[in-house]
């Protein structure tokens, strides 16, 4: 590979004069197809992308978002039906070509014999039945490179074409199903739209000793259900975990339980439990759900707290002394919360009618809002 000094004359392209390590850092900020396109700039850039320590394959760089052809109405002419079928056929042919380009590209940027570990590997693929087997191959190759960051997102269709309606061929994830997976360097893991296999929570604790950042979005946990067993819980977390996001995660017949004694930041919108109070926690964002108040009791060390879609009953009346135990709290944000009969700043809904007398309730609300204001200031 050319050196920076030989690549550009004095006073010429200053960016190309930078050493390879800095140019690799610049290219790491781009998605992989964009990074490959820089090879057209000059001879200096021709092979730089091959040594970039970040691989980011995104379906949006290959598929053009075009609408489905509109079917003609009842009683349409043969010519209209023929035009509709031709438009469908042309669209299917374009998608097939785009899919082939994506597959060839992903196989090229993730060779089987990659020589160096990756700083980050990101894979974002749309809900496409033809790409599911390829995704398994790409995830396996990425994990074999021992990435420090792994992000896998599968855009399933919320309106019926996703994994909820395709259980015959779910997109499953678990480190054990990918031969040669190297997870000892993994510090950040982000999974979206996947089915998490039964052993995944245990793998987090045993296979990822350095994991600090975990994000699970719209995933489903698959575990064995034991009738009559009250210990049907799924423990998510690890001793090294610092930041945790759980959004839209579901598990039939099981409870999610957090086991992260060194957690600093927490964001959840689904029912979860905590085994022990998290004294290291500084920032939390919680949505109202069954068991949310119990969860809040385990987060009393937080200095910043966001509550989403809570009601007056949950905030003040059910546990009136709860917030007085938050001695470190400096910032409180209420999002879409019902905290009074009138619209309040930052709240997007009115309070529902409550059988308590208006005078008593007004006094209680006044105290609550005053307390919230003191905390926020």
Locate all alpha helices (DSSP H) within 62-172, ordered by sequence. 78-109, 132-144
Alpha-carbon torsion (154, 157, 163, 167), positive or negative: negative
Write out the chain's pLDDT in tens, 377 residues.
444 444 445 555 778 888 989 999 989 999 999 999 998 888 888 888 888 899 999 998 998 777 777 888 787 787 888 888 888 888 888 888 989 999 999 998 887 656 688 999 999 998 777 888 888 899 999 999 999 999 999 886 544 444 444 444 568 899 988 888 889 999 999 999 998 888 898 899 899 999 999 999 998 887 654 455 445 678 888 889 999 999 988 776 667 888 889 999 999 988 888 888 889 999 999 988 767 888 888 888 999 999 998 887 777 767 777 777 888 999 989 888 887 654 344 433 333 333 444 444 444 444 444 444 444 44
Query: Residue 182 burial by CB count (10 A; 0-12/13-18/19+): exposed, middle or buried?
Result: middle
Question: What confidence tens digit (pLDDT) does each residue in 284-311 have?
Answer: 999 887 678 888 888 889 999 999 988 8
Residue whose structure tokens are 């946990």: 221
Question: What confidence tens digit (pLDDT) does each residue in 125-156 have?
Answer: 987 778 888 888 999 999 999 999 999 998 86
d(CA 288, CA 271): 9
Token couple for 276: 């022990």
pTM: 0.79
Residue whose structure tokens are 């009969």: 341
Please report, for residues 18, 21, 71, the alpha-carbon distance to residue 12 in angstroms, rounded to integers and kept in the order given. Answer: 12, 20, 57
d(CA 269, CA 289): 8
d(CA 195, CA 197): 6
């Amino acid at each position: 590979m050319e050196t920076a000094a030989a690549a550009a004359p004095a006073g010429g392209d200053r960016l190309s004069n930078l050493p390879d390590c800095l140019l690799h850092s610049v290219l790491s900020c781009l998605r992989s197809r964009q990074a490959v396109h820089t090879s057209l700039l000059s001879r200096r850039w021709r092979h730089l992308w091959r040594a970039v320590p970040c691989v980011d394959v995104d379906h949006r760089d290959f598929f053009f978002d075009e609408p489905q052809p509109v079917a003609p109405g009842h009683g349409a002419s043969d010519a209209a039906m023929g035009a509709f079928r031709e438009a469908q056929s042309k669209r299917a042919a374009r998608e097939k070509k785009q899919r082939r380009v994506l597959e060839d590209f992903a196989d090229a940027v993730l060779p089987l014999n990659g020589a160096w570990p990756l700083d980050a590997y990101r894979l974002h693929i749309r809900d496409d039945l033809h790409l599911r087997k390829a995704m398994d191959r790409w995830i396996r190759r990425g994990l074999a490179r021992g990435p420090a960051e792994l992000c896998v997102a599968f855009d399933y269709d919320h309106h019926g074409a996703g994994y909820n309606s395709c259980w015959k061929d779910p997109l499953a994830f678990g480190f054990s199903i990918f031969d040669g997976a190297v997870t000892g360097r993994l510090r950040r893991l982000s999974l979206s739209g996947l089915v998490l296999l039964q052993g995944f929570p245990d793998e987090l604790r045993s296979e990822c000793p350095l994991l600090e950042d975990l994000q699970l979005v719209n995933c489903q946990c698959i575990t064995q259900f034991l009738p009559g067993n009250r210990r049907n819980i799924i423990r998510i977390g690890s001793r090294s975990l610092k930041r945790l996001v759980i959004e839209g995660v579901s598990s039939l017949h099981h409870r999610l339980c957090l086991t992260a004694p060194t957690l600093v930041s927490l964001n959840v919108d689904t029912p979860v439990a905590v085994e022990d109070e998290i004294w290291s926690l500084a920032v939390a964002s919680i949505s109202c759900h069954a068991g949310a108040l119990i969860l809040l009791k385990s987060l009393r060390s937080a200095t910043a707290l966001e509550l989403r879609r809570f009601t007056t009953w949950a905030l003040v009346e059910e546990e009136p002394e709860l917030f007085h135990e938050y001695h470190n709290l400096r910032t409180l944000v209420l999002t879409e919360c019902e905290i009074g009969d009138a619209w309040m700043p930052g709240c997007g809904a009115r309070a529902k009618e409550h059988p308590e007398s208006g005078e008593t309730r007004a006094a209680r609300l006044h105290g609550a809002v005053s307390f919230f204001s003191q905390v926020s200031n």
